[in-house]
Amino acid sequence: MRGSDAAFYTHPMRTRMNRVVALERIVRTAKMAGVKRVAWNTHSWIPDRAGDAHTYPENTQGINALWRTGVGATVFGSVLFVDNLLTN
């Protein structure tokens, strides 16, 4: 990441790694390399409130962890439509 102004991270849909842990590793590496902004695609929707049923609460935790790093950040959260669930 050295020499980059920004990094873009899309969390894999099928992984056992905790989103918060993965994001913290990415951002820590970016910060050490001098990256000024990290853009994170959660690859899933963001709950209205932490802990909402049938949502991804790790996204809310990840956003909070990202803001605490002090690195500039942009977060993209997908929107859930019923037709999203019709495909594999």
Q: What is the mean pLDDT of the chain?
A: 81
Decide: 7 and 1 in contact? Cβ < 8 Å: yes
Domain residue extents for the chain: 6-79
Angstrom distance (rounded) from CA 69 to CA 75: 14
pTM of the model: 0.74
According to DSSP, residue 80 is labeled P
Question: What does the block give as tokens for 36?
Answer: 């000024």
Looking at residue 88, its pLDDT comes to 60
Give the rounded percent of residues in the chain with a pLDDT score beyond 90: 31
Q: Is 21 helix (H, G, I), strand (E, B) or coil?
A: helix
At 57-84, the pLDDT tens digits run: 788 888 888 989 889 999 988 776 665 5
